[in-house]
Structure 1
Amino acid sequence: MISPKTPVLNSFIDVDERQISNFRLHGHVLLPNILQANEVAYYRNIIRQAAYRHNTETRAMQHRDTYGKAFLQVMNLWNTDEDVKQFTLAKRFAKIAADLLGVNHVRVYHDQALFKEPGGGFTPWHQDQYYWPLDTTNTVTMWMPLIDIDVELGMLTFASGSHLDGFAENIPISDESETALQKYVAQKKYPISRAERMRAGDATWHYGWTLHNAPGNSTASTTREVMTIIYYADGAHITAPQNKHQETDRNRWLGGLNPGQPANSHLNPLVY
């Protein structure tokens, strides 16, 4: 049951034409004040509790691989927690996603808590859409810190304009993707861009093909708490998986629907 104290996030925020233009040109944009102070304080507590309750990573930092050191990762919390569901399925966020993409309706792919622990490692260069068997480029990830953050905590960093070139390398996020895609970014001479600071409740938004990474968390005692939601345009179809990770995603986040079918499983609600 939803708590009566749960803030309802169904009021809309206007995204101006300059922000939309910057998003489509550069492949990413920072939008401030998506949540008000009382809203982010409430949902930070809810998401933290759910993320740690469902976290399955028990290895000490020194025993993890590069991906494991990058963050604690817990997905689809909306499907297990009624209060988190109010966050992930919020019309406020979904309307922004639709406006940025220039589409009428969007669906949720999945949500994802990304908690980079003190001393946590860097996040290698990667493209989110490497994992998604979808036939659309109208995909976007909202990346929202639940606390105030700066570069020291692991700020998301983008290769601006990289989304325009689409698929780069058939490599999952790893040491190998860091090496190969760092070389690719240098060869393409993409400008590198990141915010110096973000406040809790701000959010960056990036296309599924936008190359991005993040430095490690160099603090001794502060966890970078971030919540993400992935959206895609309604009407997309499932594609034949191009790698084992897309096959896993097809079964795990797209309800096992077959290639060629509309991507509209019960795990992908229409949110706007």
Structure 2
Amino acid sequence: MQTTFQITPDQSALDSIPRDLRFHPSPAEAAKTLTREQVEHYNQFGFVRPIRIYSADEIAEIRTYFNDLLAKVVAAGGDSYSISSAHLKYGKVWDILTHPKIVAAVKDILGEDVVGWGSHFFCKMPGDGKAVAWHQDASYWPLSPSKAVTVWLAIDDADVENACMRFIAGSHHHGHMTFRPSNPDEHNVLNQTIDNPEQYGHAVDDCLQAGECSLHSDLLLHGSEANESSRRRCGLTIRYAAADVTAHMGWNQKGVLVSGADRDGKWANRPRPADD
């Protein structure tokens, strides 16, 4: 039986967990795959991009796989945002989570001991009208301390026209921010909104070609506009944490050790699921 997890856990339960939500900078001199300048950029601004992971042919194969998977999910009553914790269900997504190029970049941010624990397709169909309001990933996660990174892998080309992700550069230095519940008329994919993001820094468009990825801190303020174009914009968000991070609410069961060791035995280290 597969374990299911809430994408947005109950807020009162999250509030009851003591969490260290401070930014932990990465030692630039230890970088092996990223350049020292890239790690320093991550520390200063909270993100690094673009990083080429897959060739055009490789990402085309992944796109075909996703198209088939999306068709199955929609036929079963889901939608283009429904494919979450995908590495627990689909072997090919587990393969992306553990891909050596991605893991190597993440290690330069989090250190040698790394767990991959999340995978969620954010697929904005043409003209779907849904935005992702300004938010911090750490607000949704029962993890402590705040040593986690999101990799956003472009399945389709992502640009301003089809509502690429946007960052507020440097906002991760402000700690955990006050948010409000989103209103239904805002058509937000998520359920939190941080108002007046410009008070925390300037906005940067995360334009990526298919097969490229970006990395951003779990404390970085980010979001995206509604896709009003005639082109789809699909990305796979892959979540990683340092292995010494504590995951509450059973979220340790999502973990896959992708590098080093889980020295405290905190994570489940899930095996690769069978291909669907």
> Which band: TM-score by shorter chain?
0.7 to 0.9
Aligned to 2:150: 141
For residue 16 of structure 1, report the CA deviation from its aligned partner: 0.7
Matched letter for residue 114 of structure 2 = V
Q: Does 1:205 align with 2:218?
A: no
Residues in 1 aligned to 2:271 and 2:105: alpha-carbon distance in whole angstroms: 17
Counterpart of 2:102?
A: 93
The correspondence of residues 1-272 of structure 1 with structure 2, limited to 5 A, is: 14-55=33-74, 58=77, 72-101=81-110, 103-120=111-128, 121-169=130-178, 171=180, 175=186, 181-183=194-196, 185-188=197-200, 190-195=201-206, 197-220=207-230, 222-239=231-248, 250-251=249-250, 253-255=251-253, 263-267=266-270
Q: Would the aligned equivalents of 1:254 and 1:267 in 2 still touch at CA under 8 Å? A: no
Question: Aligned letter for 1:217?
Answer: N
The residue type equivalent to 2:198 in the other structure is: A
Change (3 A) 1:32 1:38: same
Q: Whole-Å Cα distance in 1 between the matches of residues 76 and 149 of structure 2?
A: 27
* Deviation at residue 81 of structure 1 after TM alignment: 1.9
Shift of 1:268: 9.2
SS in 2 for 1:164: helix
In the TM superposition, residue 53 of structure 1 has moved relative to its aligned partner by 2.3
Q: Which amino acid in the other structure matches residue 167 of structure 1? A: H
Alpha-carbon distance in 1 for matches of 2:119, 2:246: 20
CA distance in 2, matches of 1:76, 1:173: 23
Separation in structure 1 between the aligned mates of residue 169 and residue 41 of structure 2, nearest angstrom: 10
TM-score by length of 2: 0.73
The structure with more helix, counted as a fraction of residues: 1
In 2: Cα distance, 1:132 partner to 1:49 partner: 29
**Contact kept? 2:182, 2:193, Cα under 8 Å:** no
1:267 Cα deviation after fit: 4.5
Contact 1:144 1:226 in 2 (8 A): yes
Can you give the 5+ residue segments of structure 2 that lack an aligned partner in the other structure? 1-31, 256-263
1:128 to partner: Cα distance: 0.8
Corresponding residue SS for 1:198: coil
**Deviation by residue 1:132-172 (Cα, 9 ceiling, x = unmatched):** 11112221001111122211111110111111122102546
Aligned-partner Cα distance in 1 for 2:63–2:226: 21
The alignment's TM-score, normalised by the length of structure 1, stands at 0.74
User: Which 4+ stretches in 1 moved above 3 angstroms?
Assistant: 54-59, 170-180, 266-269
| RMSD of aligned alpha carbons | 2.9
Provide the rounded CA distance (Å) in 1 between the counterparts of 2:72 and 2:97.
17
8 Å CA contact retained: 2:162, 2:233: yes
**Contact 2:181 / 2:191 at 8 angstroms: preserved in 1?**
no
The Cα of 1:55 is off from its aligned counterpart by 4.8
Q: What residue identity is the alignment partner of 1:142?
A: V
Q: Which residue identity is paired with 2:117? A: Y
The offset of 1:214, in angstroms, is: 0.5
Q: Distance in 1 between matches of 2:145 and 2:117?
A: 13
1:61-108: CA deviation from partner (whole Å, max 9, x where unpaired): xxxxxxx9xx6241122222222221122122112111123x112101
* Number of residue pairs the alignment of both structures matches: 228
Checking the alignment, whether the CA contact within 8 Å between 1:136 and 1:233 is kept in structure 2 is no
